Amino acid sequence: MIIRPVRESDIESLHQNRLCGLTIDETTTLVMSAIDEEHGRDSRFLVAAEKDGGVVGMTTVKRLEHRLCRHRAELGGLVILPVARGTGLARRIVDAAGSHASDWGCSILEVSCRGGTHAEKAYIGLGFQVWGQLPGGYHDHDGLVFDEVRLWTSLPTKTP
């Protein structure tokens, strides 16, 4: 298993495995815009790919752009296929994202998730700490309402 930036060749696997939950056209647009955005910007769309090229996990990491927040990066869309859960893959993906953020000079990695879910427990298990909660922050397509929980972890500083 390798953690690497997304490639155009990953589109079909991302779509087939429903990692993005989008149509093939939407997945194509997402991947191509992520590839374009990576050029000259502190942003990565990372995938966990098997030796055969099949994608079993993904996340994005972006450095915050506001001048007062350039020391922070945001993790987004961390998804791992059920067959790869419980293998340490989430930690490897988050570590890879954190390494990119550290390379950009970031010292804080942030993430948000639905409160009271497995995701919140998983992030806490990965060393993230809750720093905020917005009651009713998420409304899903089934009419369910969740709090938005904001979490953070510190990143090792890298010397240039």
Give the span between the Cα atoms of 131 and 149, in whole angstroms: 8
Handedness of CA 88, 149, 17, 97 (dihedral sign): negative
- pTM beyond 0.85: yes
**Hey, what CATH topology would domain 2-154 get?**
Aminopeptidase (3.40.630)
Write the CA distances from 11 to 18, 22, 86, 103, 160, integer angstroms.
11, 11, 25, 27, 35
Q: What is the pLDDT of residues 90-117, one digit of tens each?
A: 999 999 999 999 999 999 999 999 999 9
Q: What is the pLDDT of residues 31-87, one digit of tens each?
A: 888 888 777 689 999 999 998 879 999 999 999 999 999 999 999 989 999 888 889
Whose tokens are 């997945």? That residue is 27
Q: Considering only CA atoms, which of 111, 90, 84 is closest in space to residue 46? A: 90
Residue 67: how many CB atoms within 10 A of its CB? 6
Helix ranges (DSSP H) in the chain? 11-16, 24-38, 89-103, 118-125
- The residues spanned by each domain of the chain are 2-154
